[in-house]
Amino acid sequence: MPINKVMVIGAGQMGAGIAQVCAQAGYEVLLHDMSEEALNKGFNKIKELLARSVEKERMNEAEREQTLNRLIPTMQLNDVASCDLVIEAVLENMEVKAKIFRQLDEIAPKHAILASNTSSLPITEIAAETNRPDQVIGMHFMNPVPVMNLVEIIRGLQTSDETYLAIEAVSKKLQKVSVEVNDFPGFVSNRILMPMINEAIYTVYEGVASPADIDTVMKLGMNHPMGPLTLADFIGLDTCLSIMEVLYDGFNDSKYRPCPLLRKYVKAGWLGKKTGKGFYEYS
């Protein structure tokens, strides 16, 4: 079945970004969230980014209007009954995702592909919550979605070749470069990135250097565009901790142990940019 209509579940930063690129690519898109406030915030963010694209001459006014006309915000999960593809982008929590996928399996058409934007949780386990595990797959977008060119396509144990090829084609239509990844904790991106961030946090914890100096070493010495502690603040320290715990539990290897300072910051509510304080302060 061709993919014409997409529902994105979760109107946060990732979900809104995914909805935007899908609409820009020509798909009819339903952006869903249970919270009216979150839905309005996500939709307004898309409007803001599209207006900025017009200002910077990346698109014209007609293209902006066409993109917005293809985007429909909804609080009704039952609207998924008309969709060919669902991309879930909610909280990185297995219980939450499992509940959503059970609901989607009941409501979505039999041909619909159910994808998760999880950054670390096992696709095979998510797929097991449905009666269509061959049609469940991971689509891990990078943040910010409209800017970053990569999407990791993660095969669960039972993901079919047909499902993989369909999502590979969708990724290409979204003008993303896709890589095929098997279902291991953290996939490729976070299995490599998060231990580096965690080790940077250990260097703060042990008093080796200040956050700013650690970031400077990685930017000027390793040619990274952003230091690991700044990046951690942008990702969200709670998300970093969650992914490190998935890695630690999944591999049962002490090299993935989350730094105690990371746990302390999360318990203090210092989650990074979204709360105004992490390793740096934000106005």
Tell which residue, 153, 244, 239, has the closest CA to residue 191.
244
CATH number for position 205:
1.10.1040.10
3-class DSSP assignment, residue 119: coil
Give residue 264's domain range. Answer: 190-273
Q: Based on the domain organization, do 171 and 103 belong to the same domain?
A: yes
What's the start-to-end Cα distance of the chain, in Å? 48
Is 15 annotated to bind ligand? yes
Q: Based on the domain organization, do 176 and 72 belong to the same domain?
A: yes
Q: What is the dihedral of CA 231, 232, 236, 237, to 10 degrees?
A: -170
Is 267 annotated to bind ligand? no
Catalytic pick from 53, 117, 119, 120?
119
Cβ proximity of 79 and 31 under 8 Å: no
Is 79 annotated to bind ligand? no
Is 37 annotated to bind ligand? no
Q: Based on the domain organization, do 128 and 244 belong to the same domain?
A: no
Is residue 224 part of the annotated active site? The answer reads no
Q: Based on the domain organization, do 168 and 54 belong to the same domain?
A: yes
- State which amino acid sits at residue 80: V
Which residues are registered as beta bridge partners of 155? 137, 182
Q: Where are the beta strands (DSSP E) in the chain?
A: 5-9, 28-32, 71-74, 85-88, 113-116, 136-141, 150-155, 177-182
pLDDT at residue 251, as a whole number? 95
Q: Based on the domain organization, do 61 and 168 belong to the same domain?
A: yes
Tokens of 40: 């309005």
Total-model pTM: 0.93
Catalytic pick from 53, 117, 178, 190?
190
3-class DSSP assignment, residue 88: strand
The tens digit of pLDDT for each residue in 229-273 reads 999 999 999 999 999 999 999 999 999 999 999 999 999 999 999
pLDDT at residue 17, as a whole number? 98
Q: Based on the domain organization, do 58 and 157 belong to the same domain?
A: yes
Q: Which of 153, 182, 211 is the last residue of a domain?
A: 182
Catalytic pick from 88, 129, 152, 198?
152
Residue 20 is given by DSSP the state: H
Burial environment of residue 134 by CB neighbours within 10 A (0 to 12, 13 to 18, 19 or more): middle
Burial call 250-263: b when 16+ CB within 10 Å, e when fewer? beeeeebebbebbe
- Tens digit of pLDDT per residue, the chain (283 long)? 899 999 999 999 999 999 999 999 999 999 999 999 999 999 999 999 999 999 999 999 999 999 999 999 999 999 999 999 999 999 999 999 999 999 999 999 999 999 999 999 999 999 999 999 999 999 999 989 999 999 999 999 999 999 999 999 999 999 999 999 999 999 999 999 999 999 999 999 999 999 999 999 999 999 999 999 999 999 999 999 999 999 999 999 999 999 999 999 999 999 999 999 999 999 8
Tell which residue, 94, 88, 151, has the closest CA to residue 120.
94
- For the chain, the average pLDDT equals 97
Q: Based on the domain organization, do 134 and 269 belong to the same domain?
A: no
CA separation for the pair 188, 152 (Å, rounded): 8
pLDDT at residue 1, as a whole number? 82
Is residue 125 part of the annotated active site? The answer reads no
Is 92 annotated to bind ligand? yes
Answer yes or no: is 152 within a domain.
yes
Is 10 annotated to bind ligand? yes
Q: Based on the domain organization, do 91 and 209 belong to the same domain?
A: no
The tens digit of pLDDT for each residue in 171-183 reads 999 999 999 999 9
Catalytic pick from 117, 140, 171, 242?
140
Is residue 178 part of the annotated active site? The answer reads no
Is 278 annotated to bind ligand? no
Is residue 111 part of the annotated active site? The answer reads no
Cβ proximity of 280 and 227 under 8 Å: no
